[in-house]
Amino acid sequence: MAIREVLKMGDPRLLEVSRPVAPIDAETLAPLLEDMWDTMAAENGAGLAAPQIGVTQRVVIFGYQTNPRYPDAPPVPETVLINPEIEALGDAREDGWEGCLSVPGMRGVVSRYRDIRYRGFDQHGKPIEREASGFHARVVQHECDHLDGILYPFRIADLRRFGYLDTLIGQGVIELQPCDDEA
């Protein structure tokens, strides 16, 4: 289909709460999902949420077998997740560097639940329920935040750990490109 423009932070559309998809119909969703996969692939993203291309529906995609931007990240199954819900499994949290295609060229440290269960539906309306930890859990939490109008910089507790990727790498603050939908 098409590589779509990714909205950038500052665009009020990224702050909207997206609406649930009902009914879930694969044929109706196909053009949106094709555009999302094409756009995510073009940017080497780990995930993408529909509102990032201006569609305020509760649809996210994520996953890859290998990603040149995250050579050390474990694979995450390629997933379409519609009307998602996330439940924390325990109180454990982890700090990690995140980026976002809507906040290009920057990275910041965000605290996320380490272990989660997520539920939702695929494009055929088939239920999905999985437990995830670490990077996988981080990507899902990041993408689902987009559906509530939340961008990762809103969650940075210490803005001293927020900056330009080139500088962070150049100064040895971070070694490689960590979690990004960029996540």
Residue 36 interacts with Ni ion (CB under 5 A)? Answer: no
CB of 39 to Ni ion, least distance (A): 12
User: DSSP 3-state helix, strand, coil percentages of the chain (rounded to 5)?
Assistant: 30, 35, 40
Q: Is 82 exposed, middle or buried (0-12, 13-18, 19+ CB in 10 A)?
A: buried
CB nearer to Ni ion: pick between 9 and 125: 9
* Token reading at 20: 């649930």
Residue 14 interacts with Ni ion (CB under 5 A)? Answer: no
CB nearer to Ni ion: pick between 81 and 100: 100
Near Ni ion in 53-112, by CB under 5 A: 100
CB of 16 to Ni ion, least distance (A): 15
143 is catalytic: yes
Question: DSSP class of residue 81?
Answer: E
Compute CA 54 distance to the chain's CA centroid, rounded to the nearest angstrom. Answer: 15
Catalytic residues: 143
Q: What residues line the site for Ni ion (CB under 5 A)?
A: 100, 181
